[in-house]
Copies of this chain bind each other. A is one copy, B any other.
Amino acid sequence: VRVPLHFDIPMSPVTSRRHLPRGEARAAIIAHASRLMRGRGFASTSVDEICLQAGVTKGAFFHHFASKEALVPTLIEAWVGDRAAQYGRALEAAGEDPLIRLEALFGSLRENVREPPEGIPACLLGMLAQELSLHHEPLRDAFARCFAGWTDLVAGLLAEAKVRHPPVVDFDPAEVAWMLNSLWQGTLLVAKSREEGRRLAEGNLEHARAYLRLLFHGPAALPGSRAET
């Protein structure tokens, strides 16, 4: 005798998980972790959510990475690789003149603000460096090296430019490169809290270019200049 006490469960906890094909788990973890951490930072991004969004299980995560922190180096490696490729393409298209190549580099930056990757206008490096530098020495050095990679590129261009276009005011290429690096990181940071983040970024880029032009060519090169006597 079957008694018809029927009952369907509502509110069943969602355990939907699309399983990825084998071997793609690692890449998916990196991609989604990068995206999430770029938006929320390291501490606020849980391993669970990374796995959920990447469509893998925690077992897969801890198979590929010993811990949550162990993910970070891989993450920034992938990030700087992507950036380097992007800059490389821009420079390649820019020709020989180091000043024009610099302009092309600035154009790349502006593009990252105009159409930020995955809609998140932030730099993974800046986000993680802010959060983790003071408390994890090995990571701090990694961040420093990543920043140095960018400034080396810029400093190289500036040094070349000094040879080709002797500047009106002398300067240390490395110092200026670091200053530009700081300016850009700060721009991204400040832009997060402003409605007109893009305008801020473009304005700041404009002033960076203005500074370089003043250094290389003097006031005559700028609009709005009153020629000195």
Contact = CB atoms under 8 A, between A and B. Distances in A.
A55 interface: no
Interface in A2-16: 2-14
Chain A interface residue bracket vs B: 35 or more
A6 to B, nearest CB: 5
A220 B219 CA distance: 11
The majority secondary structure among interface residues of chain A is helix
Contact of A183 (B72, B87, B183, B194): B183
Contact of A3 (B138, B193, B220): B138
Given A1-B146, A134-B39, A146-B5, A73 B190 contact: no
A185 interface: yes
A129 B228 contact: no
A11 to B, nearest CB: 5
A69 B193 CA distance: 17
Interface stretch (A17-25, A27-35, A164-172): A164-172
A142 B7 CA distance: 7
Given A13-B66, A144-B195, A182-B189, A3 B139 contact: yes
Interface string A130-143: 11011110111111
Given A39-B134, A43-B43, A5 B70 contact: yes
26 contacts: A1-B77, A1-B88, A3-B84, A3-B91, A3-B139, A4-B156, A5-B70, A5-B83, A5-B153, A6-B152, A7-B69, A7-B80, A41-B131, A129-B192, A130-B189, A141-B193, A169-B214, A178-B203, A178-B204, A182-B183, A182-B204, A184-B186, A185-B189, A214-B214, A214-B215, A214-B219
